[in-house]
Amino acid sequence: MFTGSLIVHITAGFLALGVFWVPLVTKKGGRAHRRAGWVFVFAMMTVAFTAFHLSFYRLFISVGRTPGEDAFSYFLLFIAVLSIATAWHGMRVLRFKKRKAIHRHPVDIGISFLLLGSGLAACLYGFVQGIALITYFPLIGVVLGSLQLYYWLRPPAERMHWIYEHLGSMIGCSIATITAFTVFGAPQLLNMEEVSLFIWILPTFLLLPLIIGFSRHYQRKFNPPVSK
């Protein structure tokens, strides 16, 4: 079962890497955007659930583990939560794009709280273990989880508010995909024993400007400043 989950995990991860850019460069709301988006979401959900299985197996069933393997498993668990929470949020904001009031659906609020809590827990674990990657990278979960809750727990204040949230969440999910590949996949493919912290956080620095850029673009498009 472990080997089977690992094969499915790797296959789905490469599929997500292969299609994540298509919704970014194609017409928003068009056929290619929607189809590639659903493929990406399906792949990321598969990656996340297999990551849960792999991590729990390593932590609670496997014997003879090293501290480094435990840290690897906890980080993989956080990546799984980050993937699920961002992909789920990206889909749910489309489902409730016409809402006018505060949104209190327990599943949506619960998943956002899970992302926030897992980010804080991972940061604390990384700090206690003295592992820089696990100390600082999960801060993205703290930030995104907080922003999701801020979005749900207040009435929409802007036109087309759901577009900002959808794009931000799906790009955040892409950050999880590329980071996981950078941390776990690339070193094995390139036969590298160690990868610097800068390489680990590089996907965040590269994709975060996309979130800001798309948000500003649609802000100017749908909510232009009022002339005095």
Q: Does residue 116 belong to any structural domain of this protein?
A: yes
- pLDDT top residue among 216 and 153: 153
Q: What residue has token string 């929470």?
A: 85
Q: How far apart are CA 212 and CA 219, in angstroms?
A: 10
Instruction: Flag whether pLDDT at 43 surpasses 80.
Output: yes
Residue 30 has pLDDT above 70, yes or no: yes
Q: pTM to 2 decimals? A: 0.83
Q: What confidence tier does 191 reach under pLDDT thresholds 50, 70, 90?
A: low
Q: Is pLDDT above 60 for 227?
A: no
Residue in the block written with tokens 């709301």: 29
Number of domains in the chain: 1
Residue 106 and residue 169: Cα distance in Å, rounded? 19
Give CA angle at 85 (121, 194), nearest 5°. Answer: 60
Q: How many helices (H) and strands (E) does the chain have?
A: 10, 0
The 10s digit of each residue's pLDDT in 163-185 is: 888 888 888 888 777 777 776 66
**What band does 123 get if pLDDT is binned at 50, 70 and 90?**
very high
What pLDDT, on a 0 to 100 scale, did the predictor assign at position 180? 72
C-alpha span between 95 and 59 (Å, rounded): 36
Is residue 109 situated within a structural domain?
yes
Buried residues in 99-138 as b, exposed as e (16+ CB within 10 A): eeeebeeeebeebbeebbebbebbbebbeeeebebbbbbb
Residue 171, domain extent: 67-222
CA distance 154 to 60: 40
Report the chain's mean pLDDT, rounded to a whole number: 82
- Residue 93, in any domain of the structure: yes
pLDDT confidence of 35, banded at 50, 70, 90? very high
- 173: enclosing H helix or E strand: helix 161-180
Does the residue 3 lie in any domain? no
- The pLDDT assigned to 108 comes to 96
Place of tokens 């939560």: 81
Whether residue 215 has pLDDT greater than 70: no
> What mean pLDDT comes out for the span 57-67?
74
Residue by residue, DSSP assigns 131-172 as: -HHHHHTTHHHHHHHHHHHHHHTS---STTHHHHHHHHHHHH
Q: What pLDDT does 194 receive?
A: 58
43 within domain boundaries: no
The amino acid that residue 54 corresponds to is: L
At 81 the pLDDT is 93
Range name among 16-30, 83-97, 135-149 with the lowest pLDDT average = 16-30
Q: Would you say residue 147 lies in a domain? A: yes
Specify the pLDDT at position 110: 97
Return the exposure string of 16-32: e unless at least 16 CB atoms fall within 10 Å of the residue's CB, then b: bbebbeebbebeeeeee
Highest mean pLDDT out of 2-6, 82-86, 134-138, 183-187: 82-86
106-125 mean pLDDT = 95
Mean pLDDT value across residues 69-76: 83
> Which pLDDT value is given to residue 136?
84
- Confirm whether 24 is domain-assigned: no
Residue 5, pLDDT above cutoff 70:
yes
9 is a domain residue: no
